[in-house]
Structure 1
Amino acid sequence: MSRRDGDALPLTAAQREIWLAEQRARTALDAYRIGDYLEVHGPVDAELFETALRRVVDEIDALHVNFVDHGQEPLQVVREAWDWEPHLLDLSSEPDPRAAGLAWMARDRMRALDLSSDPLFSFALISLSPTHHLLYQNHHHLVMDGFSLSLVRRRLTRMYTALAAGGPVSRSPFRSLDELVRSDADYRASRQFTADRSYWTERLADQPEPAQLTGRAPRSGSGPRTVVEPAVLRVDALRARATQAEVHWSRPLIAAAALYVHRLTGDRDVLIDLPVTGREGAERTLLSTPGMTANTVPLRLAMRPDQRWHDLVVEVAQEADAALAHQRYRSEDMLRDLGLPGSTGAAFPLVVNIMVFDSPPSFAGHPATLHYLLPEPTTGLALWVMGRRGDKELRVELKGAPQTWSEDELAVHQRRLIEATGDTSTRNQED
């Protein structure tokens, strides 16, 4: 899109749901922020970093919009250029530079934003020492999703590397925002949209009551933020069981989560919420355009006393394949179609988000470690599982709404979920 100041575009369906959710909440919850940071073990030239960053931001249409409500429905209004500054912080003199950097990022993520006038993103180069840096990005969820974070990070790395080497910079790989908006509108007017709606309406027609993972009512107020130390999960057993069932290794992990919910609640009809990109099966526009398309899909699993573990894993694989084939249909639309009140977090109370990367990240040839900044869910529980393809261990982190879950409760659930991945027997019969 050739950006013209003042051009107005409709919101995509994903953006509209975020807009409505935040209008209802009317608070600076980090549930509506998405970000990460790359921990670089090597020198970073601050001036060159800022040059590369400004060029990357200028390439991304989604980072040049504000949102206005004209009374009928919100619009995203294009700004041809921004007056913004990256944060260049030197914390090397702090007693604990890394802790100071993490604290700064936490404050920035809760910073209030005016959707109608502020840049809806933040970038920082946080220097902890001459050879230790944190490269931070944070966005409002209206303009960016998890898939887009990787697009931005990859482009920034390549831009900086090319400039540092004095070589040519490749042409921008990004498509325009109006193409993304048009793709969304075309999908919602398509036969595929109708087929997806029919699939989900039939699959959830007799949806069970949501599993109650805690017997306590939510506490008043938001309460203190809960912090649980991440755990480490060895994946050898998961991969072995996946090989036996001829499925992707993540399927036994989802099956273990479902089995845990079953044992905890006694429910035999279990719903697991699976975050998806909302881009699979779509045209290439969606694979090369930063923006907000992320969605979640429910996996409905039947738990039986005589069920063998192998059969449960196969059921999970089949259910996941079918759900992913219909992943562009919004989960919020599913609830409205079924006449169910509330949010997807309340309807599908356990989220299992698995993110595995192909190779170790780096920055201009220096080794780096990627850290996602995980939002706390507004309801239910969210299990985040992160690692690199081929690794023997995965990082596991359980997040819960602070008004519902205490730190001790989350720690117990996290430990039991890890144990469930190694205890895969059913009640009456084992593989």
Structure 2
Amino acid sequence: MTDVHQEEEQDVFVVPTSFAQQSMWLENELDPGQATYHVVAAVRLAGALDRDALERGLNTVVARHEALHTVFELDDDGPVQVIGPAPVLTVGVTDVDPAAAEAAVAAEVRVPFDLERGPLVRLALLRTAPEEHIAVLTMHHIVTDGLSSAIFVAELAACYVAYHEGREPELPPLPIQYADFAVWQRENLTGAKLAALEEYWKGSLAGAPALTLATDRPHPAVPSAEGATHVFAVPAALVGEVEAFARAERVTAFMVFLTAFDVLLARYSGQRDITVVSPMAGRVRPEVENLIGFFVNPLLLRVDLDDALPARELLARVRATCAGAYEHQEFPFELALEILRAERGAPAGTPQAQAMLVLQNQPPVDLRAAGLAFEPLRADTRTAGYELALDLEPDGTGAYRAFLEYSRDLFDEATAKEMADAFVDVLAGIVADPAAPVDLAAVREPPRQRTVEPQPEPVAAEVAYRAPETPIEIELQEVFGELLSAGRVGMDDDFFVLGGDSLSLIQLRNRIRERFGVEFRVRDLTTRVDIATLAPMVLRRMLEQDPDASVKENP
């Protein structure tokens, strides 16, 4: 491994996180334990199952990929990967009524991970009949992604066959491990290269508004992350027309789907400036082709839609947007989101992307191993990472299965179905008559409270300095100064105005825990963060634990 710190007594390696891992770690700290951060591969197994071979195969794959025996801690500069010995995992078997299988899978998927203790991968078997099982492989997104899950399943199947037949599996050697990639990324994305990428994305995202979809209910003050999925189909005949149209226009099928999705979002928002998230594999080096890890790097694809614009011209705009984004795809997604956050003057930790489009371009694989038939299943986490996310995947017949995931805080199932039908109609209209103007007429009016144009933030008046006086206030002043490299910090100086961000906010929470022995959720610290607000909160928590703390605070 490259450029790592090793704690020799425990045979543990400590290395920097990749940019994607750091962002995921921050998200998990802000909203811990959410199944939104889980990557799931569920497979129905038919046939006599060799559980010992499966368990040995699981541990072989986990031991082979260091990302799968990595946990995460916070040091002075931020989160780090801590790579220790591979754990020995067991595969539990639970008998489940077939009618309750879907709910059992969802329950298994929602069991939270502990990023500091690990392990961050597990495999469970749900037995629905003597020779029928559902294998549920769940990993935290911080150590994997969609392609990595496919690699895991393929290697697990190969190991299963080998161990079942009494031989050692033959897997290709791994030239590097994920930690090497993370170090390389940190060293590569610096200086002039990072500055050039940042300049492009600042220009691309300048003035990009938040998407204000017409929802069935207002946005709650505290989102629940509860989601649901509406499943529908894009018929094979329409897919064939999309692919023929794409070839004629020298674009990809994805660009045609994105054009239709942009139109759908314009109709349900009344906006003409639409930004959609779409993931890229992020495997920019050939050495990582067969490696398990968190490589995916989503891109922010922004398109301006004009009224009466022909579909062919709109597609040309989409193509230009995608081409520019692909050329600059190495820029970390979390840094692009930070550009949006700063552009909009939004608080740290506020979601900046509302809609995502994913196109899977790999046809389903018919797997058979040692008498077992594998049938991939789509596990519904019943969560939503975005307000709307459309996932399209080929079904092997020429059609596409489509999964419209939506936030249950905002939308009803009937609305999701309405949107799905509208998407298919828009797609059909685009390929049927590319010269016709695209209809952007609003289907619904967005909620009144969401249509107000953002106003420039007023310039804050200088706050008169108030010096800390009590022991807690003075200690908090020291903590603010250490974290933010600030000089004189007054009682009313805002943590974020002084230069704080999501990472330093988490460090503040941890310093308060160390100094005062009290615990806060990060969400408790995302509104007004200054010494005047924090000191009584800290004292209150101390009093709950030790009534004599008031005497210590006010001698």
**Structure 2 length normalisation: TM-score?**
0.69
Q: CA deviation at 1:58?
A: 1.2
Q: CA deviation at 1:14?
A: 0.5
Aligned residue pair count: 422
SS of structure 2 residue aligned to 1:421: helix
User: Is the 1:59–1:172 contact (alpha carbons within 8 Å) kept by the matching residues of 2?
Assistant: no
For structure 1, the residue ranges without an aligned partner over 5 or more in a row are none
User: Is the 2:312–2:434 contact (alpha carbons within 8 Å) kept by the matching residues of 1?
Assistant: no
Q: CA deviation at 1:215?
A: 7.2
Distance 1:374 1:320, change over 3 A: farther
User: Is the 2:17–2:80 contact (alpha carbons within 8 Å) kept by the matching residues of 1?
Assistant: yes
SS of structure 1 residue aligned to 2:135: strand
SS of structure 1 residue aligned to 2:12: coil
Paired residue for 1:273?
277
Paired residue for 2:25?
19
Q: Say yes or no: does 1:350 pair with 2:350.
A: no
Alignment partners' CA distance in 1, 2:338 and 2:398: 42
SS of structure 2 residue aligned to 1:415: helix
Distance 1:268 1:177, change over 3 A: closer
Paired residue for 1:264?
268
Paired residue for 1:38?
43
- Return the letter of the residue paired with 2:328: H
Paired residue for 1:319?
321
Paired residue for 2:58?
53
Distance 1:121 1:342, change over 3 A: farther
Q: 1:292 aligns with which of 279, 282, 294?
A: 294
Of residues 336-345 and 147-156 in structure 1, the stretch that sits farther from structure 2 once superposed is: 336-345
User: Is the 1:345–1:380 contact (alpha carbons within 8 Å) kept by the matching residues of 2?
Assistant: no
Alignment partners' CA distance in 1, 2:393 and 2:171: 31
User: Is the 1:197–1:329 contact (alpha carbons within 8 Å) kept by the matching residues of 2?
Assistant: yes
Q: Say yes or no: does 1:255 pair with 2:255.
A: no
Structure 1 segment 213-252 matched on structure 2, within 5 A: 213-214=214-215, 216-219=217-220, 225-234=226-235, 235-252=239-256
Paired residue for 2:196?
195
SS of structure 2 residue aligned to 1:137: strand
Distance 1:49 1:72, change over 3 A: same
Paired residue for 2:161?
161
Q: What do you get for the CA RMSD once the two structures are aligned?
A: 2.9
Higher relative contact order (CA 8 A, sep 6+): 1
Alignment partners' CA distance in 1, 2:113 and 2:267: 42
If each structure's strand is expressed as a fraction of its own residues, which one has the higher value? 1
Paired residue for 1:139?
139
Q: 1:331 aligns with which of 330, 333, 354?
A: 333
Q: CA deviation at 1:311?
A: 2.5
Alignment partners' CA distance in 1, 2:336 and 2:223: 28
Deviations 1:192-217 (A, max 9, x none): 43332222112112323434343742
Paired residue for 1:126?
126
Alignment partners' CA distance in 1, 2:26 and 2:166: 46
User: Is the 1:272–1:351 contact (alpha carbons within 8 Å) kept by the matching residues of 2?
Assistant: yes
Q: Say yes or no: does 1:148 pair with 2:156.
A: no
Q: Say yes or no: does 1:10 pair with 2:16.
A: yes
Q: CA deviation at 1:382?
A: 0.7
- Return the letter of the residue paired with 2:228: V
- Return the letter of the residue paired with 1:308: P
Paired residue for 1:180?
181
- Return the letter of the residue paired with 1:156: L
Q: CA deviation at 1:35?
A: 1.0
Structure 1 segment 96-115 matched on structure 2, within 5 A: 97=98, 99-115=99-115
Alignment partners' CA distance in 2, 1:23 and 1:52: 32
User: Is the 2:255–2:319 contact (alpha carbons within 8 Å) kept by the matching residues of 1?
Assistant: yes
Q: 1:429 aligns with which of 437, 462, 476?
A: 437
Alignment partners' CA distance in 1, 2:288 and 2:196: 20
Structure 1 segment 408-419 matched on structure 2, within 5 A: 408-419=414-425
**Structure 1 length normalisation: TM-score?**
0.88
Q: CA deviation at 1:367?
A: 4.4
Alignment partners' CA distance in 1, 2:307 and 2:77: 52
User: Is the 1:11–1:76 contact (alpha carbons within 8 Å) kept by the matching residues of 2?
Assistant: yes
Distance 1:337 1:134, change over 3 A: same
Deviations 1:271-304 (A, max 9, x none): 121122222xx22233232111222111121212
Of residues 202-211 and 245-254 in structure 1, the stretch that sits farther from structure 2 once superposed is: 202-211
Q: Say yes or no: does 1:380 pair with 2:396.
A: no
Bigger CA radius of gyration: 2
SS of structure 2 residue aligned to 1:44: coil
SS of structure 2 residue aligned to 1:123: strand
Q: CA deviation at 1:402?
A: 2.5
Alignment partners' CA distance in 2, 1:105 and 1:394: 24
For structure 2, the residue ranges without an aligned partner over 5 or more in a row are 439-555
Distance 1:121 1:162, change over 3 A: same
